[in-house]
Every structure is written in structure tokens, then in C-alpha cells.
Structure 1
Amino acid sequence: MKKIIAFLILTQSIISCSNSDDSADDNQISGGKYYAVGSTYGKNKDNNFTQLASVWIDGVPTILSNTASSSVANAVTFYNNDTYIVGTESLNNGNAILKIWKNNTGESLTDGNHTVEATDLTVNEGNVYISGNEFIGTLNSSIATIWKNGQAIRLSDKTSEANAIYVYNNDVYATGYKIIDDKKTAIVWKNGVETVLTSEQDDLESIATDIYVDANAIYVTGYLRNSFKSKAILWKNNSPATLSDENDFSQANALFVHNTDVYVVGCHIDTHQYDFVGKIWKNGTLVKEINGANPKSIIIKNNKIYTAGSGLDEKGMNDEGKIWESNLNNLDFIAKYKFPNNKVNAVLVK
């Protein structure tokens, strides 16, 4: 799942998300249960109502943390029949602690001396990799960071963000952005070495949101934008392709590679009415729209496609967490689960 007002808050949010089809060593999944992570509106230890990090299994919530002022879970993965969830706990001093929950048992990975945020995770050969950001220094700037088994590896010494992570052939990839010449610029880091993603328009800032790697290509989603327009982008081997119409204010949030097909989810944002239309692209072509939706996560399993994020309730008045499901062939999405007053950031199916 930041930093500026109105609709730009959501265009800058990351979602992230348990993204693509990891290698067999990364995720060993079988069965058919829904796992969603986010936050539930409930009471914390001080008896105050707030958002609390939660996991839903087939729609049934379990609160992971209620001992901080608030908390959130941002990503989930499976490895060797264990469930890993990553998120943060906010403290009364304004800082946040990085948390990982293995089979719902939490462990703090930072000490709370500064704020951190988690964006994604994967497990490869027993090693746990988390992408996120540390807010440090006199200006409290974000620094793109990877935690490997709890040890922080900073990807930059300048303002930057890491929004997703992927491990392929023991190489560790992360993506996000870095400030270059006073402009946010999309970046891919491979084992800590950065590559600037090519932009179609140098006058627009670029932000990368998700990544998938296989033997043939590196796929990255994101968007190019300024205050007046935003274009959803899919990079393949650093070659950008625009997904959205020129007049849309759109962004791409996450991707999933299924066989040879590349699926991307994102949204169009009506900047006047502050409304969303969910978008699903297949191989660069728009194949489905979901009114009132902002999907942040996607997975394909057992010939079905699942996406999760926020959507309007039945009255069209308030946002609620949702998981949508469709057969892969007809893309007729239904809201399988709805979570009023709650936030859903990622979904996997086991």
C-alpha cells in the first residue's frame, strides 16, 4: 500500500504486492484457500479504534497485531507450507517497526528508532527477502532498502523507494524509484546495482511498482506522470509500452506472468470525482474494467484470476477491501469477499 494530497496520495501508494509466479523454490503452493492481508478496523491495546494488521483465510479475519497504536500487513507468501506476512507497527512516538509474521507469530526486525515501511516479500531457498523503505536523516527521506533475513541492505544513499522484490536464479531484483535531477525516476536494482528504466517522456517522473523475472525477460509495471496526467506503463527488458489511453489518469499496480501471457492490474483515477475504475491488461491490451475498484494485487491459479484491493461498497459511498475472482477465460469478475471498513493490500491462493 502516502505523501501528497487528494488523488495523488493513491497514485503514489504502492501496492504491492505478492506479485508474480515465483520459481518453485520460492513458493510451493497447492490446494485452494484464499489468503488476504491488510488491516482490520478494531481496538488496540489502549482500547482505541484503529487499523490493525490482519490476515483473512477464506474471508475469516485474524488480527496479527493489536499491541501498537496501529499496524498493517502489506504482503504475503508461502514457503514449505509456512505462511509469511510482512508489515509494520506504528508506535506512539511516530515511528514504525518492521514486522514479519511466520504462521501468525510476529517478530520485530527493526528497533523503532526511525520509521520503516514494508512493500513486498519473497522466500527463496529458506532466505526471507523483504523490500521496503527506511526514513532516516535530518530530512527524514525514504531510502530504498532490502532486508535479507532481517539484515538491512540499503540500495541507495539518496531519496528512493523500493516497491517490490523478486528472486530469480539467486539474483535479487527490486524496483521502485530514485530521485535523479530532482525528479522521481524508475529504477531496477539487481543485487544492489541500479539500472534506470527508460522513459518515453523525459518531462514526466516515473515510478515502478512491481517486478517479475524469468529466463527471457525482466517485466516491470509502473507509471509516468505529472500533475495533469499519468500513464500506466509496462517495461519489458527496459523497453516501455504504454497501457492506458493518453487522456486517462492511470497507473499500473501489479503484474502476474501466466505461461507466456503477461497480466497487469491497475486503475484509472477520475481526478474530478475522486473515483476509480479498475483496469486489467493482457499482453498490453485492456481486457476488463471494474467500476469503483483500485486493484493492487493479482494472482492466477487453477485457471482462475484473483485480484485484491479497494472498491466502493454497495451504496457507492465508502471504500472497502475486496477480493475479485473470475474464470481466466471469460474475465467476468465477481466480488468474492468484501471487507467493510477494512483494507486489503494483497492476495494469494493456496
Structure 2
Amino acid sequence: MKTKFLLGLIAIFIIAGCSKDDDNNPSNEMETDVYVVGYEGNVAKLWKNGVATNLTDGNKNAAAQSVYVAGNDVYVTGYENNGTKDVAKLWKNGTGINLNNGNYNAAGRSVYVAGSDVYVAGYENNGIHDMAKVWKNGVETNLVNGTSSYIFSVHGSGNTIYVGGHESNGTKYVAKLWKNGTATNLSDGSRNTFLLSVFVSGNDVYATGYDEPSESQRVAKLWKNGVAENISDGSRQTVPASVYALGTDTYVAGYEFSGVKRIARLWKNGTATNLTNGNNNASAWSVYAAGNDVYMAGYEENAAAKKIAKIWKNGVATNLTDGSKDAEAKAVFVSQSERNHFNN
């Protein structure tokens, strides 16, 4: 009997000890933060998980165009008017700096961080026409020499940085991709072709934009490593604004004009899905894929023709603004981190 009693105490102790250890063992979970930037009224805005922060005070017109999260730092680029001109801006954790002197209109269109280097792609007017520019850690570089040109996107892999945009050849715009400052033409210049987004995944470089076979046509295009594919047939005006690749899947966000209204659209591996029903003008300006989820940022007008900033997650829309002022969500970035949770 004594032996059985001691064995029972040992068993209770082991069970209790195991239970306590289990309660204190961490379980790893992925925590997801969704960052969106854009504007509401005159105010440049940042939304984190749907909660808004003003980047400007609203005294002068401003808009945020792109967001990138690196570690604990949140970088946003866009512009703010100084009373006479739009000034290209970079905000780091809410604190803004001017990227140009404000003598001419300028804007940051895209931001990308590689290690300790922060790249902003955009343009500045030179008094005659707009000029493609890249600011690296605040220092500007002109990518073209005196011709009308625009940069809309910057992305990279390691020390290799790609920027995408277009440059006039005198009569037409040519889609161009710059790799570490060296340009490659993606179109032949026979008709207007515009490049709006670039994304690097492994060894593959994706770009999206559109060309104009005629004044009434806009054909959406996707380039992979310089090879073009049409993702619309030209029967309607179609504009793809953003590209993202994850694994073997490629996502493009934009809009198609129905003949009456713009319809927000997602192309996955070239197959189109409408995000809106066409009753109100809408567009998706940015796409980001994380795990099994696809996030898109854009806008849809309400019945009063006011633009409402929206984010779609797997096709389900959430309003970021109430429609009292014009607003658009221009870019989305998803940050995921592994967090330890203790059950005690």
C-alpha cells in the first residue's frame, strides 16, 4: 500500500509538472500589419490596420503615393504643396523631409529600402517638362537628359535596383526599365507605351503598364524579364497600375473602363476578376500578396461621386474613409513577423 501511495504521488507530480511546462511553452504565430497610404481631402494619410495617421496638416494639398516597411521603420513618399509648387517628400516614421527645393513641381511616386539605403523614384519639372529622378538617401540622380520622362516605380534585389517608367522619343512615350541606372527599352516607340510598376522576385523582373494602339484603346501589358504579354484585348480601355509576384503566382491591379464607369480589377496569372460592379467609378492602384491573402488598395466613388479610399482583402472591401471628402488609397504594404505567445 505504501508503494502504491508513493507511485501515485510521483504520477501527480509528473502530470502537474508537464502541465505547467506546457502552459509556459511559447507558440509561434504570424502577426500581420497592413499599411496603406493615400490622401483624404488635402491631407496625406497613413493607415495602419485601418487606423489613420495624418502625415500633413491639411493647410496645403498633399498626398502619399507609396509605403515601404523595413524593420521598425515606416517610409512613405509623395508630395506636399508649398503654396505654389508640389514638393517631393519622404516621411520616415511620420517625420517628413523635402527631396527638392520647391522651385518646380515634383513628386515621389515609389519608395524602396535595401539595407541602409532608401530609394525614392519620381519626377521633377525642369521648367519645360517633367524629368525622371531617383533620390538615394536624399541625393538626386537624373535618369534622362532633358527629355520628358516619368518614373513610377522602384524595386530591387540585393544591390541591384530597378526603376520603371517611360520617356518621350519626341513623338511617343517609350516604356523603359533602368537597372542600376542603365536603361532598357521595353517598347519600340511606334506608339505610346507607359510603364507604371516594377517588381523583382528572385531572378525574375516583372513590370506592368499599357500601350495605346489608338486614341480610344489602352491595352494592359505584363512584362516578365523583358518579354511582353497582353492581359487585355484592347476592346476596352484598361490600365494596370501595380504588379506583385509570389511563388508561381503573378498579381496585377488596375481598372477597366466599361464604356460608362471604371471597374476595379485584379488579374491573377492573366485571369481577370472584377472587384466592383461597375455602378460607380473605381480603381485598384496597388496589390500585395502575403501567404494565402491578397490585399489591394484603391477607391470607389459613392452615389454623390465622392471617392472613398478602400482596401480589398481577398476581394472583400473595407472602407478607410466615410465619403465626406474625396479620398484614395494609393499603395498597400503588408508586414508579417513571428511573435511568441505564452499560455500561462
Q: Could you say whether these structures have the same fold, taking a TM-score greater than 0.5 normalized by the shorter chain as the test?
A: yes
Q: 1-side partners of 2:99 and 2:237: how far apart?
A: 37
Q: Give yes or no for contact 2:298–2:311 (8 Å, CA) kept in 1.
A: yes
Question: Aligned residue for 2:136?
Answer: 148
The answer as to 2:251 corresponding to 1:247 is no
Q: Give yes or no for contact 2:310–2:320 (8 Å, CA) kept in 1.
A: yes
Q: 2-side partners of 1:148 and 1:54: how far apart?
A: 23
Deviation per residue, 1:86-140 (Å, 9 max, x gap) = 11111212x1222111111122222212111111001101100000001013x2x
Q: Which runs of 5+ in 2 are unaligned?
A: 1-29, 336-344
Could you say if the C-alpha distance between residues 264 and 316 of structure 1 is closer, same or farther in structure 2, counting changes exceeding 3 Å? farther
Q: 2-side partners of 1:120 and 1:211: how far apart?
A: 10
The answer as to 2:194 corresponding to 1:207 is yes
Q: Give yes or no for contact 1:175–1:189 (8 Å, CA) kept in 2.
A: yes
Matched letter for residue 122 of structure 2: G
Q: Give yes or no for contact 1:175–1:187 (8 Å, CA) kept in 2.
A: yes
The answer as to 2:108 corresponding to 1:121 is no
The answer as to 2:96 corresponding to 1:106 is yes
Could you say if the C-alpha distance between residues 175 and 90 of structure 1 is closer, same or farther in structure 2, counting changes exceeding 3 Å? same
The answer as to 2:317 corresponding to 1:335 is yes
Question: Aligned residue for 2:6?
Answer: none
Q: 2-side partners of 1:278 and 1:245: how far apart?
A: 17
Residue 270 of structure 1 deviates from its aligned partner by: 3.5
Residue 215 of structure 1 deviates from its aligned partner by: 3.8
Matched letter for residue 328 of structure 2: K
Q: Give yes or no for contact 1:322–1:344 (8 Å, CA) kept in 2.
A: yes
> RMSD value over aligned CA atoms?
1.7
Could you say if the C-alpha distance between residues 67 and 344 of structure 1 is closer, same or farther in structure 2, counting changes exceeding 3 Å? closer
The answer as to 2:157 corresponding to 1:172 is no
Residue 197 of structure 1 deviates from its aligned partner by: 0.2
Q: 1-side partners of 2:140 and 2:187: how far apart?
A: 28
Question: Aligned residue for 1:40?
Answer: 40
Q: 2-side partners of 1:184 and 1:244: how far apart?
A: 20
Q: 2-side partners of 1:69 and 1:76: how far apart?
A: 21
Matched letter for residue 276 of structure 2: I
Deviation per residue, 1:244-274 (Å, 9 max, x gap) = 1231210111011011111111111245x3x
Q: Which protein is richer in helix relative to its size? A: 2
Question: Aligned residue for 1:277?
Answer: 263
User: Displaced runs of 4+ in structure 1, greater than 6 A?
Assistant: none
Q: Give yes or no for contact 1:278–1:290 (8 Å, CA) kept in 2.
A: yes
Q: Give yes or no for contact 2:122–2:133 (8 Å, CA) kept in 1.
A: yes
Q: 2-side partners of 1:316 and 1:185: how far apart?
A: 38
Provide the TM-score with structure 2 as the length reference. 0.82
Q: 1-side partners of 2:59 and 2:135: how far apart?
A: 22
Q: Give yes or no for contact 2:167–2:173 (8 Å, CA) kept in 1.
A: yes
Between the two proteins, the alignment pairs up a number of residues equal to: 298
Q: 1-side partners of 2:272 and 2:258: how far apart?
A: 18
Kindly report which structure 2 residues correspond to 1:293-304, keeping only aligned pairs within 5 A, or say none.
293-304=282-293
Deviation per residue, 1:189-227 (Å, 9 max, x gap) = 11111111035xx64310001011234322110001142
Q: 2-side partners of 1:316 and 1:264: how far apart?
A: 29
Higher Cα radius of gyration: 2
Q: Give yes or no for contact 2:114–2:158 (8 Å, CA) kept in 1.
A: no
Residue number among 110, 113, 125 corresponding to 1:135 in the alignment: 125
Q: Give yes or no for contact 2:288–2:332 (8 Å, CA) kept in 1.
A: yes
Matched letter for residue 300 of structure 1: A
Kindly report which structure 2 residues correspond to 1:183-332, keeping only aligned pairs within 5 A, or say none.
183-198=172-187, 203-225=190-212, 226-271=214-259, 273=260, 275-292=261-278, 293-313=282-302, 315=303, 317-326=305-314
Could you say if the C-alpha distance between residues 343 and 214 of structure 1 is closer, same or farther in structure 2, counting changes exceeding 3 Å? closer
Matched letter for residue 176 of structure 2: I
Matched letter for residue 183 of structure 1: K
Residue 68 of structure 1 deviates from its aligned partner by: 5.0
| DSSP 3-state at the match of 2:153 | strand
Q: 2-side partners of 1:304 and 1:143: how far apart?
A: 37
Q: 2-side partners of 1:67 and 1:346: how far apart?
A: 20
Residue 287 of structure 1 deviates from its aligned partner by: 4.1
Q: 2-side partners of 1:285 and 1:305: how far apart?
A: 15
Provide the TM-score with structure 1 as the length reference. 0.81
Q: 1-side partners of 2:313 and 2:330: how far apart?
A: 15
